[in-house]
């Protein structure tokens, strides 16, 4: 078959209504540019909005490259959505919450993100090369900051590397039940890069921890700076297994994830979850419209970041992330530096997630 005929076939297939073409549909759970360059030839796109891309293989599934098969997740059409949030969830502005979120300082987020970015190579794989990797420097910095803010900080090490241990960083304030806030700090390995992905989310986590240090709460707090997200969400899966083994997984009432929160072209935030928690995401979206300048979109199903292990454990969880239709063009590239990032947008995402915590717990100023 000629290339011209193949091009016409793919164009017609992509234009068909979802479900109209033959063959199973899969959620593509990998967006790394080099991965796409190797594998897009095997795929016909059936749906592509924000982070949600559904594809049909143009070859039998068994003939696809193994790395591509690993990135294809079968989905039910009723579980798929990526669209502006509805308006049925109503939230009235609360003066206490407004005062809480006003304490977020974008300069703090920028400063923490720059420190993380400049640690060198933060990939988990760098731990194989020596004991003073950027990954180790970042983990030590995060632990020190959480401890300075008054949280019980520890490194949860879950994998032996050749020269060092691969560890999450956890800051806790005890309670009967917990709200967990996650953001990964590892990168794909470029030197002094990964400012948006995901120094920005980790810095927003630290800023939320700083603000909440000034309040008492009826719920405990867990701040999970996760490692190994870029290699199969390794750190968050390991921490979820730890919580299951200790029986504490039942104490996690809500989980919030921040990943890539500082590149802004259109003011849209994607709130990604699974179908069973769609109503929760709509409530979060309503808060976004009250306490931030962002326009929320709700996306499902979830994939590829640190909210996934907690959703799989049955915990209401969501990802807050920049709009993928206009996401950072330096994603997974050496140019993912501090230049061109919007720290007011990152601050708005931190404000939204603080408003969520205020709505799910009883906060009292110290």
| CA gap 255, 317 in Å, rounded | 4
Same domain assignment for residues 284 and 357: yes
Residues 207 and 307 occupy one common structural domain: yes
As for how many domains the chain has, the answer is: 2
> What is the tens place of the pLDDT at every residue in 84-97?
999 777 899 999 99
**For residue range 110-140, what is the model confidence (pLDDT) as tens digits?**
999 999 999 999 999 999 998 899 999 999 9
User: Is 84 inside a domain boundary?
Assistant: no
Whether the CB-CB separation of 270 and 323 falls below 8 Å is answered with yes
Q: Does one domain contain both 163 and 26?
A: no
Whether residue 138 is contained in a domain is answered as yes
What is the DSSP-derived secondary structure letter of residue 17?
P
Mean pLDDT computed over 218-232: 98
In a domain, residue 170? The reply is: yes
Say what the pLDDT of residue 21 is: 52
Tell me if 32 is assigned to some domain: yes
Q: Please, what is the average pLDDT of the chain?
A: 93
Token readout for 302 is: 């979830």
Per-residue pLDDT averaged across 199-208, rounded? Answer: 99
CA 230 to chain centre: 11
Mark whether 209 and 290 lie in a shared domain. yes
Looking at 45, 75, 105, the residue that finishes a domain is: 75
35 and 153 within one domain: no
How do residues 246-288 score in pLDDT, each as one tens digit?
A: 999 999 999 999 999 999 999 999 999 999 999 999 999 999 9
Residue from 196, 309, 270, 230 nearest 32 by CA: 230
Together in a domain, 215 and 66: no
CATH code of the domain in which 290 resides: 3.40.630.10
Question: What would the DSSP string read from start to end of 33-62?
Answer: HHHHHHHGGGEEEEEEETTEEEEEESS-GG
Question: For 281-308, how does the pLDDT look when each residue is reduced to its tens digit (9 = 90+)?
Answer: 999 999 999 999 999 999 999 999 999 9
Both 306 and 361 in one domain: the answer is yes
Asked, for residue 332, whether it belongs to a domain, the answer is yes
- Whether residues 170 and 25 fall in one domain: no
Question: Quick one: 211 and 358 in the same domain?
Answer: yes
Continuous H helices in the chain: 3-15, 33-39, 66-70, 95-101, 106-117, 134-148, 201-212, 234-246, 278-291, 308-312, 343-360
What residues contact 360, with CB distance under 8 A and at least 6 apart?
A: 179, 219, 253, 254
Look-up: residue for tokens 């009250």?
A: 290
Q: Which residues pair with 220 in a beta bridge?
A: 178
Q: What is the pLDDT of residue 1?
A: 37
* DSSP code of residue 199: I
Using pLDDT thresholds of 50, 70 and 90, give the confidence band for residue 76: confident
- Please indicate, yes or no, if residue 85 is contained in any of the structural domains: no
Residues 181-192: pLDDT tens digits? 999 999 999 999
Tell me which residue range forms the domain holding 160: 95-365
pLDDT at 163: 94
Claim to verify: residue 63 and residue 161 sit in the same structural domain: no
pTM over 0.95: no
Residue 116 lies in a domain: yes
Cα–Cα distance for residue pair 157/360, rounded to 1 Å: 30
Q: Are residues 203 and 304 in the same domain?
A: yes
Give the pLDDT score at 13.
Answer: 40
Q: Could you read off the pLDDT of 16-63 as tens digits, one per residue?
A: 344 445 679 999 999 999 999 999 999 999 999 999 999 999 999 999
Are residue 23 and residue 157 in the same domain, yes or no? no
C-beta of residue 106 within 8 angstroms of C-beta of residue 264: no
DSSP of 74-98: E--GGG-EEEE--S-S-----HHHH
Q: Is the pLDDT of residue 3 over 60?
A: no
> Looking at 44, 75, 106, which one is the last position of a domain?
75
Does a structural domain hold residue 354? yes
């Amino acid at each position: 078959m000629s290339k011209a005929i193949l091009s016409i076939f793919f164009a017609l297939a992509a234009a068909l209504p979802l479900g109209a073409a033959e063959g199973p549909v899969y959620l593509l759970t990998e967006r790394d540019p080099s991965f796409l360059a190797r594998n897009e030839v095997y795929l016909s796109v059936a749906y592509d909005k924000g982070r949600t891309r559904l594809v049909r293989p143009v070859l039998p599934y068994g003939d696809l490259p193994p790395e591509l098969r690993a990135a294809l997740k079968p989905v039910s059409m009723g579980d798929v959505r990526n669209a502006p949030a509805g308006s049925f969830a109503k939230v009235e502005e609360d003066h206490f919450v407004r005062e809480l979120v006003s304490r977020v300082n974008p300069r703090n987020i920028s400063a923490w993100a720059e420190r993380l970015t400049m640690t060198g190579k933060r990939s988990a794989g760098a731990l194989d090369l020596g004991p003073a990797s950027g990954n180790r420097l970042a983990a030590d910095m995060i632990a020190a900051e959480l401890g300075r803010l008054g949280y019980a900080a520890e490194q949860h090490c879950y994998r032996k590397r050749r020269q060092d241990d691969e560890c999450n960083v956890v800051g806790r304030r005890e309670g009967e039940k917990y709200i967990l806030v996650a953001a990964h700090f590892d990168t794909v390995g470029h030197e002094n890069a990964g400012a948006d992905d995901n120094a920005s989310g980790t810095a927003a986590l630290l800023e939320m921890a700083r603000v909440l240090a000034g309040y008492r709460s009826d719920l405990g707090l867990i701040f999970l700076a996760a490692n190994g997200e870029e290699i199969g969400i390794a750190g968050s899966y390991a921490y979820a297994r730890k919580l299951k083994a200790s029986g504490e997984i039942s104490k996690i009432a809500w989980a919030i994830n921040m990943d890539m929160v500082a590149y802004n072209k259109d003011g849209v935030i994607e709130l990604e979850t699974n179908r069973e928690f769609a109503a929760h995401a709509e409530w979060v979206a309503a808060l976004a419209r009250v306490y931030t300048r962002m326009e929320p979109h709700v996306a499902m199903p979830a994939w590829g970041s640190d909210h996934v292990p907690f959703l799989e454990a049955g915990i209401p969880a969501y990802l807050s992330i920049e709009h993928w239709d206009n996401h950072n063009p330096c994603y997974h590239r050496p140019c993912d530096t501090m230049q061109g990032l919007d720290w007011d947008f990152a601050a708005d995402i931190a404000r939204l997630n603080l408003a969520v915590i205020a709505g799910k717990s009883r906060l009292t100023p110290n």
